[in-house]
Amino acid sequence: MPIYKGLPGASLLAKILLQKYEYHVPFYRQIREFHHLCLKIPENTLHGWFKPACELLKPLYDELKMQVLAVDYIQVDETTLPVIINKQSHKAVREYLGMVRAVTTGLVFFHYDDGSRSQETARNLLEPFKGYLQSDGYAAYNIFEGKEGVFPVGCHAHIRRHYETAKEEISLRLNTFWLAKIQELYRIEQAVDIQGISPEMRMSKRQEQALPILDELAQWMETTYPKVLPKSRMGQAIAYAYIFWPRTRNYLKDGRLKIDNNLAENAIRSIALSKKTSCLVEIMRRRKTQLSSVHCWHHAKHLKLIPENGLPI
């Protein structure tokens, strides 16, 4: 049996983890389902199987983490995680779970460092990485500006969201101009996606069509910012875009690069859904153990495996 002195086989353990992380079914509902099948599995027993089953997946997690950081283009993102520190008070604190995605291969791993998303966490995690690092505007990733071998890439979707929040506050003409230009950039990406052209040709198309739009937007920011209040939503949107503008333009440098970080956000969305249906995390050891399972389900979907048959537990 996979678990030392344990009764469940590999297929049952895979089903339990699959239900929890792929279909977001908490343990108490799984116990109810087993009861309907005339299988009486106590809750303590299910929790007892959980940790060693996750630990069996740890070597796969470590290998995939190594493979992700070995590529030359990654995207990063984080999501909040409610954590119960004290089981007696049941008071939850907000911590962070991070995600790293290898864009060219689609492989993903999640990471947890005591709930932190500090610069030290980012530095330790991505120390071996060399290549394009795409993120939103979170300040922790500023440490990679100027680092040899690392080229930060920004996210147009985050910049667009800042302008969208200013809709109610500013003149329609100002906001319409910016959003229309951003939409033009996205239409260029959609067109080359449909054409299915090579990264080299995509880069050439961007230089020809997107670069003039980006230059126009840069000039617009310089002339418009003095006309708005710095603390207004429009002022903040322009300031945010201007600070990250060099990083946001970097997607022109390589045809493989994405215009935004949305693929990373989509990859971490499964965690956000799990927060609504799964039990809150209680202790650090259990939190770290769960990462192996979360990561492996995402990898199994990417490879189109049947998790009950494809995961090596």
Q: Given pLDDT bands bounded at 50, 70 and 90, which one contains residue 289? A: low
Amino acid 89: pLDDT? 64
Nearest residue to 296 (alpha-carbon basis) of 282, 283, 279, 313: 313
According to DSSP, residue 141 is labeled: G
Tell me the pTM: 0.84
Amino acid 137: pLDDT? 85
Question: How would you list the strands of the sheet with 73-86, edge to edge?
Answer: 108-111, 91-102, 73-86, 131-134, 150-153
Q: Is the confidence at residue 58, as pLDDT, over 90?
A: no
According to DSSP, residue 240 is labeled: H
Strand-strand pairing, 150-153 and 73-86 = unpaired
Give per-residue pLDDT as tens, 24-50: 788 889 999 999 999 899 988 988 898
Give per-residue pLDDT as tens, 141-185: 999 998 999 999 999 999 999 888 877 665 556 668 888 999 999
The single-letter code of the amino acid at 177 is F
DSSP-assigned letters across all residues of 176-221: HHHHHHHHHHHHHHHHHHHHT--HHHHHHHIIIIIHHHHHHHHHHH
Q: What values do phi and psi take at 101, rounded to 5?
A: -125, 130
Q: Is the confidence at residue 277, as pLDDT, over 50?
A: no
